[in-house]
Amino acid sequence: MRANEGWAAVLFDLDGTLADTVELILRCYRHTMRTHLLRELPDERWLATIGTPLKDQLRDFARDDAEAARMLDTYVTYQRGIHDQLVHPFPGALATVRDLKEAGTRVAVVTSKRREIALRTLGRCDLTDEYDVLVAADDVAHGKPDPEPVRLALERLGLAGEAPRTLMVGDSPWDIRAGRAAGTRTAAALWGPYERSALEAEKPDFWLEELEGVLRVEP
């Protein structure tokens, strides 16, 4: 399917949008809670904040900053060991990105993951050479839902003045908020871990049932 040629750029979230990583994320969360709090907590508590920076998520469970730092080290170390066996692309990810590029649309990945692990995830999804710009958690002072990552992606693409002709695609409320605050159009991905009801309050411009749906929406 050919992409609509009206978008200057499409910005994709990574976890839950291009990459199916929910099981990986939950296993790392459970391991971290068992290690530091000596018990597992409900998955729903973690799922409710997927899409925000990991350090911010963990701070909500730690008693102080020092414990949050230890939790982060535990999570990241465990993640490195099990990452590759649990990460897969969502159907249509590679084909959709390639169709956008062939239509002359710039593509960026805007993620709350750290760059090291984001690159590894993109590699597992065969997307290493398919995007123009990657903005990761360690590139910004404030992660999503702050608009800083989206604005930085536009700057690095050379499209700082083209936000209205840019589409931010993500599965979480934080993606939609960040895109809107940066002035882009927004599309909610319904194949990630968030229920539609959690996204409706954000009033995205478009609803996507599948990745290929990006190719059919118009500015």
Task: Report helix, strand or coil for 175.
Answer: helix
pLDDT in the model for residue 6: 87
Residues 6+ apart with CB under 8 A from 111: 13, 14, 15, 118, 134, 135, 136, 137, 149
Q: What percent of the chain has pLDDT over 70?
A: 98
Per domain, the residue ranges of the chain are 9-20+88-216, 22-86
Structure tokens at 215: 């190719």
Mean pLDDT of 36-40: 96
Q: Which helix (H) or strand (E) holds 23?
A: helix 22-37
Choose the CATH number for 9-20+88-216 among 3.40.50.300, 3.30.1490.20, 1.20.210.10, 3.40.50.1000: 3.40.50.1000
| Average pLDDT along the chain | 96
Q: Are 130 and 98 in contact (CB under 8 A)?
A: yes
Half-sphere exposure of 13 (CA within 13 A, CB side): 32
Threshold 0.75, pTM exceeds: yes
Q: Quick check: is 205 catalytic?
A: no
Answer yes or no: is pLDDT of 32 > 60. Answer: yes
User: What does the alpha-carbon distance between residue 64 and residue 102 come to, in Å, rounded to a whole number?
Assistant: 49
Beta partners for 185? 167
* Average pLDDT estimate for 131-154: 98
Parallel, antiparallel or unpaired: strands 133-135 and 185-189: unpaired
Write the pLDDT tens digit of every residue in 41-83.
999 999 999 999 999 999 999 999 999 999 999 999 999 999 9
For the beta carbon of residue 94, count every other beta carbon within 10 angstroms.
16
Return the CATH fold of 22-86: DNA polymerase; domain 1 (1.10.150)
Q: Does the pLDDT at position 4 exceed 60?
A: no
Residue located via tokens 């391991």: 31
Catalytic residue among 13, 20, 146, 175: 13
Report which of 101, 169, 96, 111 is spatially closest to residue 132, judged by C-alpha positions: 101
pLDDT tens digits for range 91-142 = 999 999 999 999 999 999 999 999 999 999 999 999 999 999 999 999 999 9
Contacts of 170 (CB under 8 A, 6+ apart): 12, 13, 16, 17, 51, 176, 178, 179, 186, 187, 188, 189, 192
Predicted confidence (pLDDT) at residue 3 exceeds the cutoff of 60: no
User: Average of pLDDT values for 11-27?
Assistant: 98
